[in-house]
Amino acid sequence: MSADALESVSGVRAVAEDVSGSVRVDSEVKGASYGEALSIAASADLRWQKLAEGVLPIGPGQVLVSVDVGIPVGADVTVTAGNSDEATAPTARVVGLVDLAGSAQRLGGMKVFATPEQVSSWAGKSATREFRIAGDGSSSPRQLADRVEAALPADATVITGAEATDAAAAQFLGGTKILSTILLAFGAIAVVVAALVIANTFAVLLAARTQELALLRCVGATAPQVHRSIRAEAAVVGVVASVIGVGLGVGLAWLVGWAATVADVPVPLSTLSVTHVTVLAGLAVGIVMTMVAASAPGRAATRLSPMAALAPMESQPERVQDSLVRRVLGVVLLLAGIAMTVLGVSGQQVLPATIGGLLSFLGIAALAGRIVPALVNKAGGLLARAIGPVGGLAAGNAGRNPRRTSATAVALLIGVALTSTLVVGIATVKAAAPGAMDSQFPVDVMVSGSDSAPLPAALGTGIGLVDGVSAVAGLENAELILDGHGDLPGYGVDAAQVKDVLRTDISVPGAGQLVLSPAALTDFGLGTGDTVTVRGDRGSINLSVVEGVKGQPALLDRGDLTVAATLPTTDAYWVRLDTETDDQALVTTDRITELARQEAPGSNVQGMTEMRSTLDSILDTMLMVVAGLLSVAVLIALIGVGNTMALSVLERRRESGLLRALGMTKRGIRAMLIWEALLVAGVASVIGVVFGLVFGVAGTASVFGIDDIALGAVPWAQLVAITLIGGICGVIASLLPARRAGMVSPVSALAG
């Protein structure tokens, strides 16, 4: 079916025929390269390529290449089918360069782009074709897909754009649900922090209106009526704030996309999708969370009698029974969390370690009412000796209402702890991953064949001649049986060659030996020193079992393999590089990839340098994204610090007046409150950083093992910076309440 026929389907705005195929590209600049030719869509709506320089191809003989291949605009290239023996072919002129940064198309060798007709002529019968369709908005993607499917032959497959996106994400990233789950998890964290701040905010508001509420009670309003009025107020605040929040969120998302487009970042963020579900979910979460967070301050405001409420509101201690339950629960959760974390680390199991971290954090949060005031008092004692009585007063004020102080500290602690955990986790992973990758992938480059065709000997010879390659070893495979144990997926190697290519110390077999990994020994029920019989289509041979290292394949001597098997085939080549920099290693790996495409189409090339570079890029990107998300939670928590200071000013109004009457200046009052905020924020930051350090290391250890953790990789400077930033931000959050407290005259403060 043609593109013109599809354009006639109702609801179709544009159609692009995508043609692709494996090709060989010859140029004077780069020589012979193997890669893929892709067609350019005529419609701008369906053209995904980003032109960095030059113009688009409009006919035969014109081609685009990717920027990173190093072929300039104006150069001539010869493009032929990847498996073609054609000696000569018409040349094509490079008319433009395509920027593939941030695209999965950057992987897998060289890419060239031309018109569909040109790509079809290059790829020939091996070309693959598909149609991409853009709708006009009159119907849903599923409805449009059904219409298109009805117009196509019965054997045609039609999927929506969303389904194609999920398939691509699954191919390169393992799916989109993981990323969505991570983003939703950080959204939930922000919601929890916001709930703590809202609760403190309503406590501040209700404390400021104590006389007003008391007057309502005096003129006949009942406690339930006052409570309902507070709930109604919370509902109105929740609705208004949620509407504004959703609007700001959409606006900020658009602004981020616009800024990313202007800055030409690799990840495309130019499209903004806002659904009805997104808007309604945002409104529902905001309103419900506000109502729930305001319920506790609302109930507290109605517990006072009308006469008692006429006096200024003072902080009330927590009931002994509630305090005991909280402490017992906190200790149980903390001990259970520690036990689960130790279990996860010792067994290298991520799930138990994750559960342990969560339980430990809940335990610390429950015990914060005891831990935070105690640490604040200790720090306050040091502060008093350093700066005088003002420091002691600040510490005493912070510990006067442990519940509110700990709630404020926990809100800030959440953001700091998670930030520290990720900073430590990513730093230790980047340090431990190379060693783990070395054990799983003990060579610089591995070329593996497809199931249908073995690797030719000429490929191994050619790889050995590539600049930057120091050694090559082939792994031969044959159908073998281990007598009494079943099939043996083993490889025959030359011991001397393999030792030359290995980057790590794995067991290499000598004549008469069979090396098995610990897991294989367990599966086969064998032990070191056992003698086993290996059979092939030619005969059998008795071998002595040797224990190898974790994860290594079963290896036997190449001579022993030829005794058992008639036609062993080369299944893979292990390659050792002799390059000084990662860039040189990547160039050498590319040359090996091109050679493998030429000599063994369908083979797979894996390079350690590229894998490490990709891992570092992923971890760095993840750290930036997560830091941005957590900064929202930290900002919300700092608003809570300011609210706590505001409530503290209201509760201690007469105390502040007395201090002023005894000679303390406005500057002294402001300093006292600022030091108090610094103590609370500093203690929360220290606890959060310690928590993040412990569980960041534990998380990495649960993946790689405790022996692979290098404490030298812990970013100590960043952790110190996080602690200092937390304290400084707490001071900034307290400036306005401190200024307000200093402006109150002693007479009015003592009058209540």
Q: Taking the chain (752 residues) in consecutive chunks of 10 residues, what is each chunk's mean pLDDT?
A: 71 84 80 80 81 86 84 87 62 86 61 88 80 83 82 78 68 51 60 72 69 75 82 88 87 75 60 78 88 80 62 52 75 89 81 80 78 80 77 72 70 77 78 65 80 79 89 87 84 86 81 88 87 88 88 86 84 86 78 80 74 64 64 69 70 72 79 82 87 84 74 82 83 78 66 56
The side-by-side arrangement of strands in the sheet containing 554-557 is: 486-488, 480-482, 531-535, 540-547, 513-516, 554-557, 490-493, 469-477, 569-577, 445-448, 604-607
For residue 131, what is the enclosing H or E element?
strand 128-135
Tally: H helices and E strands in the chain: 23, 19
pLDDT on residue 480: 87
Contact 148, 3 (CB under 8 A): no
Instruction: Give the angle 611-617-623 at the CA atoms, nearest 5°.
Output: 135
**Which letter does DSSP use for residue 319 in this model?**
P
Contact 419, 390 (CB under 8 A): no
pTM summary value: 0.59
pLDDT on residue 308: 53
pLDDT on residue 668: 81
Closest CA to 285 of 255, 249, 257, 253: 249
Instruction: Give the angle 61-43-12 at the CA atoms, nearest 5°.
Output: 140
What tokens does 199 get?
A: 């609760």
Contact 102, 48 (CB under 8 A): no
pLDDT on residue 544: 92
pLDDT on residue 404: 67
Contact 749, 656 (CB under 8 A): yes
Phi and psi, residue 80, nearest 5°: -135, 165
Adjacent-strand bridge partners of 102: none
Instruction: Give the angle 453-457-459 at the CA atoms, nearest 5°.
Output: 85
The separation between the first and the last C-alpha atoms of the chain, rounded to the nearest angstrom, is 86
If you search the block for the tokens 């071998």, which residue do you land on? Answer: 543
pLDDT on residue 87: 47
pLDDT on residue 630: 62
**Full DSSP string of 144-195:** HHHHHHHHS-TT-----HHHHHHHHHHHHHS-SHHHHHHHHHHHHHHHHHHH
